[in-house]
Amino acid sequence: MTADRTLLMRQQMTRLRAIDQRLEEMALQIGELGVRSVSDTGTLNTALPTPVAAADPFADPAQAAGIRLRLSTIEENLRQVSGQTGELVQSLEKLMQQVETARQDNEFRFQQIEGTMGRAARDPDAVPASEPEVLGQIRMASPVEKLDGPSAETGPTVALIGEGDLPVQTSIGEPRVRPSLNDPKELYDRALADLRAGSYAGAQIDFEQMLVQFPAHKLAGNAQYWLGETFYVRRQFKQAAEAFLAGYTTYQQSTKAPDSLLKLGMTLAAMGEKKTSCDAFKELSVKFPQAPQAIAKRAQIEKTRVGCTS
Decide if pLDDT at 5 tops 80. no
- The answer, yes or no, to whether residue 79 has pLDDT greater than 50, is yes
Phi-psi sector, 59: left (phi>0), alpha (psi -120 to 50), beta: alpha
Least confident of 114-118, 142-146, 221-225, 255-259: 142-146
Going from N- to C-terminal start, the domains of the chain cover: 2-122, 134-310
Q: Are 228 and 244 in contact (CB under 8 A)?
A: yes
Dihedral over Cα of 83, 88, 90, 91: its sign: positive
Question: What's the pLDDT tens digit per position in 205-214?
Answer: 999 999 999 9
Q: Residue 222: its pLDDT value, please?
A: 95
User: What is the Cα–Cα distance from 17 to 79, expressed in whole angstroms?
Assistant: 14
Of residues 106 and 67, the one with the higher pLDDT is: 67
Question: d(Cα 278, Cα 273) in Å, to the nearest integer?
Answer: 9
Backbone dihedral angles phi then psi of residue 155, each to the nearest 5 degrees: -110, 170
Name which residue leads in pLDDT, 194 or 5: 194
Which residue, 195, 145, 194, 201, is CA-closest to 173?
Answer: 201
- Mean pLDDT rounded to a whole number for the chain: 72
Q: Which residues pair with 38 in a beta bridge?
A: 44
Task: Find the largest Cα–Cα distance for the chain.
Answer: 110
pLDDT 10s digits, 25-57: 776 766 666 555 544 445 545 444 554 444 555
- State residue 138 phi and psi, 5-degree precision: -140, 150
Provide mean pLDDT across the span 127-132: 47
Q: How many CA atoms lie within 13 A of 130 on its CB side?
A: 12
Q: What digits encode the pLDDT tens for the residues 215-263?
A: 999 999 999 999 999 999 999 999 999 999 999 999 988 888 999 999 9
Angle between helix 184-197 and helix 200-213 axes, rounded to 10 deg: 160
Burial class (CB in 10 A: 0-12, 13-18, 19+), 190: buried
- Cα distance between residue 238 and residue 263, in whole Å: 12
Write down the pLDDT at residue 88: 78
> What residues does 44 pair with on adjacent strands?
38
Q: Which residues of 33-61 are buried (b: 16+ CB within 10 A; e: fewer)?
A: ebeebbbeebebeeeeeeeeeeeeebeee
Q: How many Å from the N-terminal Cα to the C-terminal Cα in the chain?
A: 33
Predicted pLDDT of residue 128: 46
Specify the CATH number for 134-310; select among 1.25.40.10, 1.10.3470.10, 1.10.3720.10, 2.60.120.260. Answer: 1.25.40.10
What pLDDT does 48 receive?
Answer: 46
Cα atoms in the 13 Å half-sphere on the side-chain side of 134: 30
Question: How far, in Å, CA of 136 to CA of 180, rounded?
Answer: 32
More confident call, 36 vs 91: 91
Share of the chain above pLDDT 90, in %: 35
pLDDT, position 93: 75
Three-state secondary structure call for residue 252: coil
- Residue 10: what pLDDT? 72
Ranges 15-24, 50-59, 182-191: which has the least confidence = 50-59
pLDDT category at 121 given cuts 50, 70, 90 is very low
pTM of the complete model: 0.48
Between 225 and 181, name the one with better pLDDT.
Answer: 225
